[in-house]
Structure formats: C-alpha cells, structure tokens
Structure 1
C-alpha cells in the first residue's frame, strides 16, 4: 500500500510538473500561425537606424514594446511620438480630462524610459478626436514630424482597422502609411521602410471571444479585418520588461487587462512563452 501511494504521488507530481508545459503548448497552438515566418529583427545585419514610432495614445506602444527594446539593445535609435495625451481614457474613473491628460503624459514618459526610447515627442491632438482633425491635417502633421526627425524606418498601426477598430488608431496608421507611400524615394524624404503592427488570425479569433474592445469595434466582415502579417519577431526575453511598461500606465490597467487577458494571473514565465512574439506587416 505504501509503495502504491508513493507511485501515485509520483504520477501526480509528474502531471503537475508537465501541466504548465501542456498549457504553454496549448496556448501557442491557439494563438500563433506557425506558417508565418519568424525573424530575429525588423532590420537584420544593418547599420544603426533611426526608428520613428507613431501612435495616437499613451499605452499604444505596449503592442511593440518587445521589438523596440530589442532594437534599442542592438544599437538602433528609437524616437517615440504620441499624438494625444489620452484624456478620454477614463477606465480608471478619473473624469477630469485635464488631470487625466497630465497623469497619462507622466505614464507615457515612464513607459518610454523603460523601453529605452531616445526621445519621446508628446503632441496635443484631441483624444478620440482625430476624425474631426481630418486625414489631410493629420498627414500634414505626420509629414512635419518626419521632416523634423529624419527617421530611416517608420512603425505605426495598420490603416484598415487600427489593431482593434479604434478610429484614432486607424487614422494614425492611414496617415503614416499614405505619407510614406506618397513620398518614398523623393529627395529629402528619409524613411526607406515602414512596418505596421498586426495580429495573426488565431489571435483575432481569440480576442473576439475575450476582449470587450475587440467585440465592440472590430469589423464583422473578415475581409475588412487586419492585414495578414508578413513575419513575427521573437520577444519572449523582453516580456518581463513589457509587463513593467504595462504597469507604468496605472490609469489604464482595466483596458490593458482586456487586451491582454489574464496577464496578471498567469505566471510571467508561462505567459511569456505563449505571448512570445509580435506580428508585423511591411508596407510595400
């Protein structure tokens, strides 16, 4: 009987030991399209580049934080642009928009420091108001930023959805994309490449089940959904620091939990092996 008990305990211990790895395998199979190629970096074997990363809101940079940290460690320059101060992001219960704008500006500065950005450029366009600004005015603003900073590579949202359907996201991606495509190769226009953060189909499918933001805003017609990724970047080593970036946005924890479900419940060493890559489309 004692021997049987020892064997049973050993089997249970073995199952418990295996269970996290089973969870990781299950998660990876349900979150990633393994036909999409992985590459080590956006630019490989190149000299130092200046990257201009343009997003509308404080906390949008979380979507590419691992890739940016990796670029910085490889010696590239990171210039972050945040078009608004996020005064409409009231999930924390703070109704005073001036106070919220100050708080979120401070949070964005902390996040930029954690990423290692060389410079953060905070603009003052209206949060959830880029439609009123208009695409042409937004393109003029983006063109001016590019002329000032003279980047080699651009990173932003896609122009079809804006990751999950927020109008500010989509318009930002559209403005950056159109400025790039209309001016690439012209004298005085420095960017040679542009990349857009996106998701694979499995991630979109899961997000539509778990995320209220996706359920509310994502297009019902699959043909109107996110562009297919061209590749992914392996970012597992940077996941603990990405969590720090997320925590820097103290006023937006409810939103971030919605977009990355259970990240505060599942141990980081497990979560990092499931959410171990960031997907991109190259604008050509």
Structure 2
C-alpha cells in the first residue's frame, strides 16, 4: 500500500511538472506558424546601424519592443518617432484631451527610455486625424525625418491594414513605405532596408476572437488582411522588459490587454515562452 502511494504521488508530481510545458506547447501551436522562418536578429550585427522607428501613437512601439531592445543590445542606434500624442485614446476615462496628451507624452518618454532609445522625436499631428492631414503631408514629414536623422533601417506598420485596421496606423505605414520605395538607391537617401511589423495567420485568428480592436476594424475579406510575415525575430529574453514598457503606458492598460491577453494571470516564465517572437515583413 505504501509503495502504491509513493508511485501515485510520483505520477501526480510528474504530471504537475509536465503540465506547464504542455501549456507552452499548446500556446505556441495556437499562436505561431512554424513554417515562418525564425532568426536571431533583425539586421546584421556589423556594421552598426541607425534604426528609425515611425509609429503614430504612444504605445504602438510595444509591438516591436523586444526587437528594439535586442537591436540596442547589439550596439545599433535606435531613433523613435511618435507622430501624435495620443489625445484620443481615452480608454482610461480621461476626457480632457490636453491632460491626456501630456500624460501619454510622459508615458512614451518612459517607454522609450526603457527600450533604450537614443532619441525620441514627438510630433504634434492630431490623433485619429491623419486621414485629414493627408498622405502627402505625412510623406513630407517622413522625408524630412530621414534627411535629418539619416537612418540605415526603417521600421513601421504595414500599408495594407496598419496591424488591426486603425487608419492612423495604415497611413503611417503607407507614408514610410512609399517614401522608401520611391527613393531607395537614390543619392543622399540613406535607408537601404525597411521592415513592417505584422502577424501570422494564427495570431490574426486568435486576435479576432479576443481583441475588440481587431473585431471592430480588421477587414472581413481575407485578401485585404495583413501581409504575410517573411520571418520572426526571437525575443523571449526581453519579454519581462517588454511588460515594463507596457506598464509604462498606464492610461492604456485596457487596450494593451488586447495585445497580450491574460499576461497578468500567467507566470512570466510560461508566457514568455509562448509570446517568444515578433513577426516582420521586409519591404523590397
């Protein structure tokens, strides 16, 4: 009887020990397309590059925070641009847009510091108003930023959807992409690589079940959806710091829970092994 009890306890202990790894394998299978190549870094380690990251809102950088921290750790220079101050993002119930813009600017500065950005450039375009500003004006701003900063690499949203359908996202991605494609290889134009953050099909499918932003804005026609990733970058070791970047955006916690659901309820060592990569499309 005693021997049977020891064996039973051993089996129970083994199951308990194994269960987190089963959860990790299940989560990875639900979240990732294993046919998409993984790579250790976004760009070559040598020579050191100057990377210009262009997003419309404070908190958009969370989608590539792990990759940016990895680039910084490899010695590359990170220049970040935020086109608006996020005054329309009142998910926290702050109705005063002036106050909210001030708070979100402070949050963006803290997030950039956590990432290790060499410089943050805050612009004053109207939040949720880039359609009224117009593509030509955005392209002019992007061109001026490139001329001023002289980056080697560009990172932004895609030009088809803007990750989940926000017009500001899509127009930002479109402006950066068009400037890059229209000028690549010309004398004096420094960027020779551009990458767009995207998601694999499994992530889109899951997001459409869990994220109100995706449910509201993502195109119903699959042909109009996100561009297929060319590869993913391994970012597991930076996941705890990515959570710190998320927490820096205190006014946007309700929105960011859509990006990484249940992260507050699952141990980091498990969650980081599921959310262990970021997906990109290279613009050619």
SS of residue matched to 2:244? helix
Between the two proteins, the alignment pairs up a number of residues equal to: 284
Equivalent residue runs for 1:113-132 within 5 Å: 113-132=113-132
Equivalent residue runs for 1:10-21 within 5 Å: 10-21=10-21
Residue 49 in 1 paired to residue 49 in 2?
A: yes
SS of residue matched to 2:10? helix
Distance in structure 1 (CA, Å) of the matches to 2:105 and 2:45: 35
Q: Is the 8 A contact 1:64 1:197 kept in 2?
A: yes
In structure 1, the partner of 2:148 is: 148
Q: Is the 8 A contact 1:154 1:193 kept in 2?
A: yes
Residue 244 in 1 paired to residue 244 in 2?
A: yes
SS of residue matched to 1:51? strand
In structure 2, the partner of 1:3 is: 3
Distance in structure 1 (CA, Å) of the matches to 2:24 and 2:244: 22
SS of residue matched to 2:155? strand
Shift of 1:260: 1.1
Q: Is the 8 A contact 2:45 2:74 kept in 1?
A: no
Q: Is the 8 A contact 1:66 1:235 kept in 2?
A: yes
Distance in structure 2 (CA, Å) of the matches to 1:55 and 1:4: 61
Equivalent residue runs for 1:91-102 within 5 Å: 91-102=91-102
Shift of 1:39: 1.1
In structure 1, the partner of 2:31 is: 31
SS of residue matched to 1:127? coil
Distance in structure 1 (CA, Å) of the matches to 2:9 and 2:100: 54
In structure 2, the partner of 1:60 is: 60
Shift of 1:46: 2.2
Deviations 1:167-224 (A, max 9, x none): 1000000000000001111111111110000000111111111111111110000000
In structure 1, the partner of 2:133 is: 133
Shift of 1:134: 0.5
Shift of 1:76: 0.3
In structure 2, the partner of 1:225 is: 225
Distance in structure 1 (CA, Å) of the matches to 2:54 and 2:60: 9
Q: Is the 8 A contact 1:213 1:259 kept in 2?
A: no
SS of residue matched to 1:159? coil
Distance in structure 2 (CA, Å) of the matches to 1:229 and 1:146: 25
Shift of 1:281: 0.3
Distance in structure 1 (CA, Å) of the matches to 2:273 and 2:260: 14
SS of residue matched to 1:140? helix
Q: Is the 8 A contact 1:82 1:122 kept in 2?
A: yes
Distance in structure 2 (CA, Å) of the matches to 1:2 and 1:175: 72
Q: Which runs of no fewer than 5 residues in structure 1 stay unpaired?
A: none
